[in-house]
Structure 1
Amino acid sequence: MKKILILFSAIGLISLTGCNNDDDVAVVPANQVVENEVFQVGPVNFAYDSSINMYSLIYDLNPQILPADMILVYRRTVDPGANNAPVWQLIPRTIHNGADEIDYDFNFDQGTILFTVDANYDLQETPTYINNQIFRVVILPGYDSSARFDYSNYDAVVKKFNIKESDIKVLK
């Protein structure tokens, strides 16, 4: 009986290890141009939206993105240790300032991006977190299979997807 159980276990193990998802095929419509894109939004000021009880900003995507596309959003900040060099931080992001917390986030659909910022205190006390904000939006085609890639490093993302600084559109 033990030998049969071991045999079934071995067969089950072999059959399960043979499965993977590496054979997925993405179909892109013939009339669609598929490319990576980066654009910069800002500097912009957030406005308080009482309907969602936080500061927000809506950006319209023109043209709209495809349903399977992925969006990454990075917020510009500075590195005081490197002569205030610009640093791009992936959002969602929580900034801790002592006991205070500031949360940057976003939602998107095919036609719009909703940027939000919220805090556990009144953000009007620190307007630097809601005024003159600059974001970089990276649109990646839905067919990309780089699921194991670390998207938190903006410089690595633009290098991986061959995006040049000169290609970045600055929008307000």
Structure 2
Amino acid sequence: MKKSLLLLGTFFTLFFISCEGPTGPAGFNGRDGEDGFDGIQGQVFEVEDVDFNYIAADNLYETVLTFEDFTSFPVEANDAVLVYQYDRSIEFDNGSVVNDVWNLIPQSFFYDEGTVQFVPGHTTKDVEILITGNFDLSALDASITQNQIFRFVILPGNAAAAKMDKSNISSVMSSIGVTEADVLKASFK
């Protein structure tokens, strides 16, 4: 008798699991993507000749770059804006390949006088980069505050949450399908 009830219960369970109900309501229309682009959408642009202005009242240097001056790519509230500072170019031993070194900021530098830090912040309209420190920055060398080069990577919110090595700009660009040839380049001046 127990086997019969178990068999009958199994039959009814399978019967009800295999039933299909009515189709639910259609979802909302999303934003149209770029035709033929698969994967994570993002953009990379580079700005050279970036100069910082000293603000004596706060003992810091500041520069603000407005996104629309460099790209038509919309920046949403949940997007991440990664800021990389150009450090130098490295030529390998064979002399044939040169690679650029980009450092993700915030980044600290240590001098005899104290510590200096490059710190980014952004809204949907612009990105602000500050140079802060724990000593009087008014006499900071122009090689630190003038003619800097930065790369900005705009990652949509879903990509920003993805597990990728964000400290490595090559890895990030590869993840979003951007090559060196795709980088938009502009001058701040």
Question: Structure 2 length as normaliser, TM-score?
Answer: 0.66
Identity %: 23
Instruction: Give me the whole-angstrom Cα distance separating, in 2, the residues matched to 1:52 and 1:113.
Output: 19
Task: Tell me which amino acid in the other structure corresponds to 1:59.
Answer: L
CA contact (8 A) 2:164 2:171 kept: no
Residue 54 (str. 1) matches residue 60 (str. 2): yes
Residue 157 (str. 1) matches residue 172 (str. 2): yes
**Distance change >3 Å, CA 111–CA 95, structure 1 → 2:** same
CA contact (8 A) 2:54 2:138 kept: no
* Residue aligning to 1:19: none
Q: How does 1:68-107 map to 2 (within 5 A)?
A: 68-78=78-88, 86-107=100-121
Q: How does 1:99-118 map to 2 (within 5 A)?
A: 99-118=113-132
Deviates more, 1:93-102 or 1:66-75: 93-102
**Distance change >3 Å, CA 102–CA 157, structure 1 → 2:** same
Deviation string, structure 1 residues 108-133 (Cα, Å, up to 9, x no partner): 01001001112334353421110110
Count how many residue pairs are aligned between Structure 1 and Structure 2: 146
Consecutive unaligned residues of structure 1, counting only runs of 5 or more, are: 1-26
Consecutive unaligned residues of structure 2, counting only runs of 5 or more, are: 1-27, 35-39
Q: How does 1:1-172 map to 2 (within 5 A)?
A: 29-31=30-32, 35-50=41-56, 52-62=58-68, 63=72, 64-78=74-88, 86-119=100-133, 120-122=135-137, 124-144=139-159, 146-172=161-187
Say what the alpha-carbon RMSD is for the aligned residues: 2.8
The structure whose Rg is larger is 2
Deviation at 1:100, TM superposition (A): 2.8
**Distance change >3 Å, CA 30–CA 121, structure 1 → 2:** same
Deviation string, structure 1 residues 59-114 (Cα, Å, up to 9, x no partner): 11124411211110000012678699531000000012345321001110100100
**Distance change >3 Å, CA 99–CA 165, structure 1 → 2:** same
Deviates more, 1:80-89 or 1:107-116: 80-89
Instruction: Give me the whole-angstrom Cα distance separating, in 2, the residues matched to 1:58 and 1:28.
Output: 35
Task: Tell me which amino acid in the other structure corresponds to 1:71.
Answer: V
